[in-house]
Amino acid sequence: MTLAAPVHSPVDAPATDPASTPVPYHPPVPSPRQRHRPRGATHLFVRALLGALATSYNHIPRLREQLRGVDGWLGVTIGVRTRSASVSAAIRFRDGHARTMSGVPEDADCVLVFKTGRKVRSFLTGTTTDQVFMLLKNDFYTEGSSTGLLMFIYLISLAIAKRQVKTMLREKAADDAIRRERAGRTDPDLAGRMQVRASTRLSATPVDPGVKLLDDPYLSVYSLEDFPRLARFLERHLELDAEVCPELPRLVTQWHRTHGFEVDEHGRPWHPVMRKALAYKYLMANRRPIIHPDDLIAGTTTTKETGVVVYPEGHGTMIWSELLTVPHRALQPYGISEETRELLHKDVFPYWLHRNFKEWVRDNYGSPLGQRIDDRFAVYFNWKAATISHTIPDFPKILRLGTSGIVAEIEAAIAADPGEHDRNVHRRSFILALEGLAAYSRNLAAEAARLAAAENDPTRRGELERLAGICAQVVVGPARSLDEAVNAMWITWVGLHMESTNAGLSMGRLDQCLQPYFEADLAGIDSLADIAAYVKRALELVGDLMLRCTDHLPLTPDVSNHYFGGSSSDQAITLGGVTPEDEDAVCDMTYIFLKATEMLSLRDPNVNARFHPGKNSDTYLKRLCEVNLITAATPSLHNDQAIFAALERYGAAPEDVRNWSATGCVEPTLSGKHIGHTNFQMLSLVAALEMALNNGRHPLMDWKVGPDTGSVEAGDFACFEDFFEAFRTQLAFLVDQSIRYNEMLGRAHQALRPTPMLSSLIDGTIEKGRDVTYGGARYNSSGAACIGLADVIDSMLVIDKLVFADCRVGFTELKRAVDSNFAHDGELLALVRNKVGLFGSGNADAVAMGNRITKMVQEIYDGYVNYRGGRYRAGFWSMSTHVSFGTLAGALPSGRLAGKPFTPGLTPQSAASVSLLDNMRDVAQLDPANMPNNIAFNVKVVPAAGESREQIVDTMAAYVKSYFQLGGMQMQMNVVTSETLRDAMAHPENYRNLLVRISGYNAYFVTLNKEMQLELIERAEYGL
């Protein structure tokens, strides 16, 4: 397959004067019918509620004080109406006063449009959790500023805080009770059985050519008990709730208040890249250098032990509505100090009210359709509203050169391309960012020296002195030892997370990156005892690095707990595979990382393993399977050959393709050279199917948003091809709208948050003199995650076979059954579930349908080139949105009932076959060329009682090897029984770090919302 002739980005930059302050968007004035003053009881009740709120703010000093921001009084006008206009009112906060009005004024910042009057009442009196559910269920939608709305919700919350918190505690208790009830009777002994898995460990003799030193690459003598320091860190990680950290938003807002955002203190327009670099340098130089107690690695992402980072220009303001309630919510509660709350509400968020990606697009492009669809959650979710950071920085480069070496390279590029042009503004910005990183590193060195001087324990003093020396060398100079390399990597990692959102930024091939330092260290060690001690120390250091990665969490608003439950930052690490020169890449460090993975069972970093069937050894593959067995869910396994095949058409240099690593969940990225924003969106394929069944109307949104493509009821579809075309048209419409929105968000990133620090570590930028957000990287692309593939394949098979080929069911009859959730159609439901060879059953027609749909999807994306000059790539994995999108979808022709989860990633539905091999063969036969952003194929396997460790591992390895041989791209195994998961649902305290793989990422099972827990329990389970 070759690429069609390139097209250009479908969206131009907005015609905004960069020096002007943002002009807020206001929703259109309601139609005359809705402008009239309604008088119904609900309307009066709503006005009374708004009136009571206004009165509280006008008369209670404590509340009124909350309207006083750093820049003056907070102002926002919120309209509230129903679709029928039975309710139409507004509340306005301005100059320290609140007043309500009938009707919605022209200058409203945000209007909430409710399905019914009753829903308005529930909203105004509910908890923030209620409000989230109402939003997801499309009980209301918003027009205009969602940030303004969040401020308003916070103002409601302040007024009714006590009651809200009480209700939330009740909700939490009720939620726990529901979990216990849904779990049913469980066997508490199962927890112990999971724990003893780690006590049996295989050993091996070295066979991989890259393993230079390890006698037993499986490192079977070690267990966590041998590393008390790591055990303590792990305990803290599992025990502590996260806390919101105010440092970054405080310092960044401070800098901008002084130096301006759109224009500088002298009124000159800022160059966005230069502005970002200066603000970044200020942040890095002034943030607290912290060395975590007892740590071997210096530096922390936040000032909290587990900190939540707030990026105000990203999605930081999404927590505004929850500032009071976030410590009390059922899922992922965060601590937040009163001081931080005040800072965010009065100082930070008002400054960024319009200076965030979403609102920038709304204001500059006039609330485009693509954004309004996104705001309603049921169809697609565009990640660029939060971040673009899904990529792999060039760690080897900074280890090799240090910031000083990279600065020298940039200076040489400036000297070779002299002049005061844009390219050199970008290049000088990179230098500023690197100086910021260097300043942080020096501050850490000083802090280490200070702590060492004050330390009484001689061992710890020695460690701190050593750290002081390390931080004096790196990250400014090159790393010379494993210690220095690991510290340099971590300092850089912290630095990158200070620049852009901690979601999906990934670390790449750490085994390849660190092996040279490991070998160099060992060159100076002779005695066997010293070698053993060194290996142990290397393992501790790697474990420590992985634990350091848990010191931060992305800011998760409650709505995301239901959308992306349990997800952490998804910092992917990639191991194994082949080198850029096509040699076996498995080395000592590969096994050291695997051992640390086995001992710690962390959800993040997300460990991905590459396996090259022709080049990598069975010894390595079996070790991957054993670690997967012990941890129950990690690593995720990738087939190098299939990934190469998937990426071939993009024409990258073969050595760069061979150097791929996984970003975020599973997505292939060409390490250090590629900005692939590999998760620009999560798109529900099922939404397009529902719209095709309803002539462009989406049932849950109750919105005729798509084009006319024919009505089932009117008999517009004479054959299957007609209907398939309708599906294609609806999907193309959704893709088009979401890409337009993505392109606008891309421009927002260029204006609000270029990333000069990251740019200095991505190949191509220095030469081009261009930040990565402007397309400076050597390789560019955007990646989509398409959800519900198996559900769509099965639905299409049912329509094709039962309706058109066999004529056993009329299309109208099927449609009526789907619309009524098969409530009166038991026979039809049985028919669709049993008389059609589903995807995953070994049916060649189903595989053909799968290839047809994936090809069609990729061809739609092929019609676009992004604003950085890259192509769009389709992938078929779902994070957790197969559950959330499923909740928001009706029944399907496949027999899946309304509200039920879709299948995860592209995994066949569990009814497809009793044989796992049917599943594997069908998935393996999907052509990787149509799935360049990778897949997530979930398999739940459970060892039979009495099988030996060798037997279990051999069988797992045989599955993986055969699946890869058949052409499969990726698979991920959950090695845990449904019974154990049920027990964990009932007794979370016994399963604190029970790992599960959702679709692409790992989570602690006990942190998931109950819908996701049930989805995991209901997945098909195959014996080993």
Partner 1 sequence: MSSATPATAQAQAQRSQRAPMLLDVKTNALDDGPGIRSVVFFKGCPLSCVWCHNPESRMATPELSFDATVCIAGSGCSRCIPACPQRALNRRNPGLVDRAACDLCFACVDACPPGALARVGRPALAGDIMATLLRDKPFYEASGGGVTFSGGEPTLHMRFLGELAGECKAEGIHTLAETAGEFAWERFERYVLPHVDTVYYDIKLLDPVVHRKYCGVANDRILGNFARLAALAAAGDVELLARVPLVPGITDTEDNVLAIGGFLLAHEVRRVRLLDYNPTWVDKITKIGAVNEFAAQPAMRAWLPHDAVSDLRARLAEYGIEAA
Q: Which residues in this chain contact partner 1 in the complex, by CB under 8 A?
A: 826-831, 833-835, 842, 915-918, 921, 944, 954-955, 957-959, 961-962, 965-966, 1022-1024
Consecutive H or E run containing 845: helix 844-861
> Closer to partner 1 at the Cβ: 122 or 955?
955
Name the residue among 831, 843, 830, 847 with its Cα closest to residue 793.
Answer: 847
757 vs 953, beta carbon nearer partner 1: 953
C-alpha–C-alpha distance, residues 784 and 782, integer Å: 7
Which run of H or E residues covers position 168? helix 161-183
Amino acid at site 760: S
User: 903: buried, middle or exposed (CB in 10 Å: 19+, 13-18, 0-12)?
Assistant: buried
CB nearer partner 1, residue 472 or residue 917 = 917
Q: Containing H/E element for 133?
A: helix 128-136
CA angle 729, 733, 737 (to 5 degrees): 170
Distance of closest approach, residue 910 Cβ to partner 1, in angstroms: 15
Task: Considering the complex, state which of residue 690 and residue 825 has its C-beta at the smaller distance from partner 1.
Answer: 825
Distance CA 955, CA 629 (A): 11
Least Å distance, CB 648 to partner 1, is 23
Please report how close the Cβ of residue 998 comes to partner 1 at its closest, in angstroms.
25
* Cβ 918 to partner 1 shortest distance, Å: 7
Could you tell me which residues are beta bridge partners of residue 871?
A: 781, 865
Bridge-based pairing of strands 88-94 and 97-102 is antiparallel
3-state secondary structure of 111: strand
Number of neighbouring beta carbons within 10 Å of residue 443: 20
Sequence-separated (6 or more) residues with CB below 8 Å from residue 230: 224, 540, 543, 544, 547, 599, 600
Query: How many whole angstroms separate alpha carbon 11 and alpha carbon 581?
Result: 40
Nearer to partner 1, 401 or 958 (CB): 958
Closest CA to 258 of 245, 275, 233, 277: 275
Q: Which is nearer to partner 1, 512 or 913 (CB)?
A: 913
Q: Report CA 175 to chain centroid distance, whole Å.
A: 25
Residue 309 has, within 13 A of its CA and on its CB side, a CA count of 28
CB 795 within 8 A of CB 897: no
Q: Give φ, ψ of 698 to 5 degrees.
A: -95, 125
Which residues have a Cβ under 8 Å from the Cβ of 180 and sit 6 or more positions away?
A: 985, 986
Task: Read off the amino acid at residue 163.
Answer: R
The DSSP call for residue 64 is H
Largest CA distance in the chain: 90
Q: By C-beta, is 170 or 835 nearer to partner 1?
A: 835
Q: How many CA atoms lie within 13 A of 810 on its CB side?
A: 8
Question: What CA–CA distance (Å, rounded) separates 585 from 566?
Answer: 32
Q: Are 91 and 100 in contact (CB under 8 A)?
A: yes
Report the length, in residues, of the chain. 1024
- Closest contact distance (angstroms) between CB of 193 and partner 1 is 17
Residue among 64 and 961 whose Cβ is closer to partner 1: 961
**Residue 796 three-state SS:** helix
Backbone phi, psi, residue 19, to 5°: -85, -15
Coil, strand or helix at 308? strand
Give the integer Cα–Cα distance in Å for 511 and 596: 12
Q: Shortest approach of partner 1 to residue 958 CB, angstroms?
A: 3
What's the closest the beta carbon of residue 609 comes to partner 1, in angstroms?
17
User: 540 vs 922, which CB is nearer to partner 1?
Assistant: 922
Please report how close the Cβ of residue 927 comes to partner 1 at its closest, in angstroms. 18
Task: Output the smallest distance, CB 1024 to partner 1, in A.
Answer: 7
Smallest separation (angstroms) from partner 1 to the CB of 835: 7
Closer CB to partner 1, 122 or 821, in the complex: 821
Q: How far is the CB of 957 from partner 1 (least distance, A)?
A: 7
Strands 68-69 and 72-73: antiparallel
Least distance from partner 1 to the Cβ atom of residue 813, Å:
13
Q: Which two tokens stand for residue 899?
A: 């509200």
- Edge to edge, the sheet with strand 636-639 lists 572-576, 606-611, 636-639, 970-974, 938-942, 1022-1023
- Of the chain, the end-to-end C-alpha distance in Å amounts to 38
Query: Which residues face 143 on adjacent strands?
Result: 111
Q: How far apart are the C-alpha atoms of 434 and 428, rounded to whole Å?
A: 10
Specify the residue, 455 or 954, whose C-beta has the smaller distance to partner 1: 954
**CB closer to partner 1 out of 793 and 939:** 939
For partner 1, the closer of residues 451 and 836 by Cβ is: 836
Nearest distance from residue 189's CB to partner 1, in Å?
Answer: 17
Comparing CB distances to partner 1, the nearer of 90 and 799 is 799
Of the pair 195, 915, the CB lying nearest partner 1 is at: 915
Locate 776 and state its tokens. Answer: 């400076």
User: Nearest distance from residue 805's CB to partner 1, in Å?
Assistant: 15
* Smallest gap from residue 922 Cβ to partner 1 (A): 11
- Whether the Cβ atoms of residue 929 and residue 645 lie closer than 8 Å to each other: yes
- 464/957 with CB nearer partner 1: 957
The CB-of-914 to partner 1 minimum distance in angstroms stands at 9
> Minimum distance between the CB of residue 917 and partner 1, rounded to whole angstroms?
5
48 versus 805: smaller Cβ distance to partner 1? 805
